[in-house]
Amino acid sequence: MFVAIFSIILIIIDQFTKYLAATNLANENSVVLIDNFLRLYYIENRGAAFGILQGFRSLFAVITIIVLLALIIFLFKNYNKVPFIYLLSFSLLIGGTIGNFIDRVRLHYVVDFISMKFFGHDFAIFNFADVFIVMGTILISIGIILHDNKRWAMYKNNFTVDLSSEGLRLDKFLEKKLDINRSQIKKNIDLGNILLNKNIVKAGYCLKCGDKVEVSYEDDFRILPEKIEFDIIYEDAYLAVISKPQNLVVHPGAGNKKGTLVNGLLHQFDELSNPIDEDRPGIVHRLDKDTSGLMIIAKKDEAYYKLVDMFKNREIEKHYLAIAHGNIFNDFDVNAPIGRDPKNRIKMKVIENNSKSAYTSFKVLKNFNNFCLLDVHLHTGRTHQIRVHLSYVNHPVVGDELYGKTNKSKINKQLLHSYKLRFIHPITGENMDIVDKFPKRFEDFMKKFNEEIKIEGIWCNNCWSRCKRSICFIWI
């Protein structure tokens, strides 16, 4: 509404001043406002602004229509997201462009009447519409500088509803898929930016298996580099392996525009790849916010595509360390399907209906007090798989408030760490065996029980940075 009203006011000002100029200055009269600098002088301009490119009236008309349509469409789609400085600048551009367009259609020329001189030479003859256009362009430039930390980027994605999501509300389904909050999802549904089977539906629509959801909306933030602390375990020209700290979100999303691992990656690495999603540069796979440990980062596109296929085809061996409640004396496997908990949509659980196969191997490294340290081999990659499987066998991860139970030590973040990755380098073909050092928070927790037990096959904190042996001992 503001843009329309302000643009109309500008058009009226432009047309009225042109009428006054044509009425009072058409007979070669001129009015000097500032000697040797500014005067009013009537001229019929058949070219572009400031009198350039004479004789291209049809071309100017076509360009004007294209520019106007582009501005109007952009404003229609982004009006509520655009900062006020841009609304003001677009109003000036629309008002000025339409003002001159009216002249070209009605008179076949544009009335110019403001003449400026610099150092005794005529600089240009123009009108108020030209002034509005120049002011609008200047304000856009200022806006870009002031809002340098923002951008408009189109997010597009398609989703197919599977059995595990059948019955969910559309907005609830997308809340887990998109990096915007539920109110923003509803707004995009209402605007038609989110379609179900090519149709606009309500946010509360109950999904059916096989439904196709199309998402296309403007995102309005730029991911900026930030100094975020994390260890680089391995790096070459194609990829890197880093150790993500606990309590660190992997990539920006709703409520997490800053302070994520991606912000830190942009600060640390000159080159990162993600040709599929530019808002997640370098990210091939993820860890939960409160799960720490090793992650592979793609630096070049060729490595990215091959790594994605390797994860999909389960060609990357992933091992985690977990401290679980209770004592376990034998290694064991859990091969039980995981799906969304029908009673709590935030949680996953072992369930037969609407689920996917999930397979995890557990090796007992140590029992202490009423806890155990486990080496966990993740064969599949379901959401919360380790946490769900350990909870399923009544040995939940210590500190896991979603699937676990309270503990006397008041640990409120899961003791779960991705400590080993084995894979073939996607470019060089080299066998990669990357092992992280033992997490300090694990060590601090275990030291509370004052037991000295050696564990074979994991780096110790003391020798990890020096010897890097394939077999080592931890002394707790």
The residue from 130, 211, 288, 400 that is catalytic is 288
**288 carries an active-site annotation:** yes
Any alpha helices (H) in 26-117, and if so which ranges?
Answer: 57-78, 84-107
Among 209, 221, 296, residue whose Cα is nearest residue 254:
221
* Residue given tokens 């084995």 in the structure block: 422
- The token pair at 285 is 């796979």
CA 134/CA 127 separation, integer angstroms: 11
Beta strands in 327-406 (DSSP E): 332-335, 338-340, 348-350, 355-356, 359-368, 371-378
Eight-class DSSP state of 424: E
CA 422/CA 433 separation, integer angstroms: 5
| Residue 355: CB atoms within 10 Å | 18
CA 359/CA 365 separation, integer angstroms: 19
Among 44, 11, 158, 145, residue whose Cα is nearest residue 86:
145
CA 100/CA 111 separation, integer angstroms: 8
5 Cβ partners below 8 Å, 6+ apart? none
Sign of the torsion formed by the C-alpha atoms of 182, 188, 191 and 195: negative
What is the per-residue burial (b if ≥16 Cβ within 10 Å, else e) of 202-235? ebebebeeebebebebbbeeebeeeebebeebee
CA 377/CA 211 separation, integer angstroms: 34
- List strands edge to edge, sheet with 153-160: 153-160, 212-219, 194-196
- The token pair at 159 is 């989703």
CA 100/CA 64 separation, integer angstroms: 9
- Residue numbers annotated as active site: 288
